[in-house]
Chain A
């Protein structure tokens, strides 16, 4: 964690003061996590805050906080800066860009609500025209339901269409973590249908419904690496790339060259979690990539090509 500048530390305290209410106590460690500081750094800043006041000559104007045993005790009303301070232009930009990254557009009610707290210097329209941090588009209500379920440990029901699947399956899941990786958001959840930890791409969830049932997050243990591209233990497919289809490592996560180029072709081993995913990617190369093995994957590619050809011919 980079050391904060004096300006950032003061901004943190000013943001924090809007939340501190009389006769409340807060764990310094929790506040530090929210503010991106170390507990020691924030404790030192809160000590400094307890020495602050509007008038150097009036000891009764000091900020009424006391830090003891890792806890901040608030024993009076905040002086002067007691209300929520508006978002500065930079803060509003950061929050709007972050929400963009989660698929919330400028027209979304949540974005409008948040930006109502921005200072006059912030121009939402200019941001919309100059920064696009959108990772991928998805139903934002689904994102909110998943995020809430992960925090409140609520079982939800999702309609999920996996890669290449012709229709959705309905599953009850226990969401553990949401993450963004290279162009998409995912949720890692315990899936009741498969009885295992699964990662679902959020833009493939058509609908999410709250069941009202809660779950104990300790029952199934840790979900393992939170990544869409974790290839540990996956089977390998051997693919031959013809000369007109250059092998691009980024398009095949975890792939490695199996042999050097041979008469203009490249042989590659690609880890794959599901036959549907890799078969569709091979078919999409329209004969410029061939599956050398395993045999069942060759069959799957042939069957998928046949199915798509039938569909394309009927169109």
Chain B
């Protein structure tokens, strides 16, 4: 008796070997694993599931209205990718690290992707590890996998959520996107109860579930102009937007090489002699000053002037405290 894995590979080979179009009946007759005596509706269900599985494997199987199928060879096969040693090493290192990271939600697909793009599939293992999320990594990884699938298919999700004030409440969200920041995953989506787009910390969620009704029909459409990057913040950009202000931070020449790393795409960096001025939105005085000092030397506050003064006053206080 042919087992399911053989049937799937047989069907893939059958489609790939066919010169023209084929029918479900031909597959039933020629592919080991299907039975001619099988109940018609059971066969059709099995055949549909098998085609879905092969599409997940990367095969592009086209169908016409008459029930004829063919493998689109150009869409199914790629030319081998030429990678140099550094590129190959980078991909293998990243994949080795993340494939075993419980908080990375795409581990299985990552391994399969690596197997397809690397030339030497039996190369020795790479010493690399990862812990993208440090708080409950398994739970965050599993929840992000659920949320990511729901976002991709446009399905609503529900979960219990405990906010920073310790208040728990159920939420129903239309998930738009996900981002990782400082060891935590975050979800951005529209809260249907509040009719607002908000950011939620995944580690604060409980019992994440996807709307199971009409699984192949989206519940919502993500706004065309949505970009999750707009929700990724630096540490001093969290908090009430009502307290938002514009700050200017100077990078001295020796610190310039790190400027684009530290700015992380936020604000505007303008050349200023050998250094640069960084104009950026901030929501917290204390967090901005902490950022400037922790990433120094070579960073200083230019404006607002009262913040520059607060920095000098605070540094004076440290000197007195430790004097």
> Is B319 a contact partner of A180 (Cβ separation < 8 A)?
no
Q: Which of B101-131 contact A (CB under 8 A)?
A: 101, 104, 106-119, 121-131
Binary flags per residue of B225-240, CB closer than 8 Å to A gives 1, else 0: 0111100100000000
In the complex, whether B95 has a CB less than 8 A from a CB of chain A is yes
For B79, the chain A residues whose CB sits under 8 A away are 84
* Assembled-state Cα–Cα distance A245/B126 (Å): 42
Binary flags per residue of B246-282, CB closer than 8 Å to A gives 1, else 0: 0000100010011011001000000000000000000
Q: Write the chain B residue with the least CB distance to A148.
A: B89
Chain B nearest CB from A180 CB (Å) reads 4
Chain A nearest CB from B216 CB (Å) reads 15
Q: Write the chain A residue with the least CB distance to B185.
A: A133
> Is A135 a contact partner of B106 (Cβ separation < 8 A)?
no
* Assembled-state Cα–Cα distance A80/B10 (Å): 11
* Assembled-state Cα–Cα distance A102/B78 (Å): 25
Chain B nearest CB from A17 CB (Å) reads 8
For B316, the chain A residues whose CB sits under 8 A away are 305, 309
* Assembled-state Cα–Cα distance A284/B97 (Å): 33
* Assembled-state Cα–Cα distance A52/B118 (Å): 24
Q: Write the chain A residue with the least CB distance to B315.
A: A309
Query: Which of B12, B116, B182, B322 contacts A117 (CB under 8 A)?
Result: B116
Q: Which of B290-323 contact A (CB under 8 A)?
A: 290, 293-294, 296-298, 300-302, 308, 310-312, 314-323
> Is A85 a contact partner of B58 (Cβ separation < 8 A)?
yes
Q: Which of B76, B99, B117, B134 counts the most chain A CB atoms within 10 A?
A: B117
> Is B97 a contact partner of A179 (Cβ separation < 8 A)?
yes
Assess A131 versus B177: contact at CB under 8 Å? Given A15-B115, A93-B109.
yes
> Is A52 a contact partner of B9 (Cβ separation < 8 A)?
yes
In the complex, whether B67 has a CB less than 8 A from a CB of chain A is no
* Assembled-state Cα–Cα distance A132/B182 (Å): 12
> Is B129 a contact partner of A91 (Cβ separation < 8 A)?
no
Chain A nearest CB from B90 CB (Å) reads 4
> Is B115 a contact partner of A16 (Cβ separation < 8 A)?
yes
For A214, the chain B residues whose CB sits under 8 A away are none
Assess A167 versus B254: contact at CB under 8 Å? Given A49-B9, A286-B289.
yes
Q: Write the chain B residue with the least CB distance to A88.
A: B58
Stretch at the interface among A30-38, A190-198, A230-238, A260-268: A30-38
Question: Could you name 8 residue pairs across A and B whose Cβ atoms are closer than 8 Å?
Answer: A7-B56, A8-B112, A55-B14, A120-B75, A131-B148, A180-B129, A284-B289, A305-B319
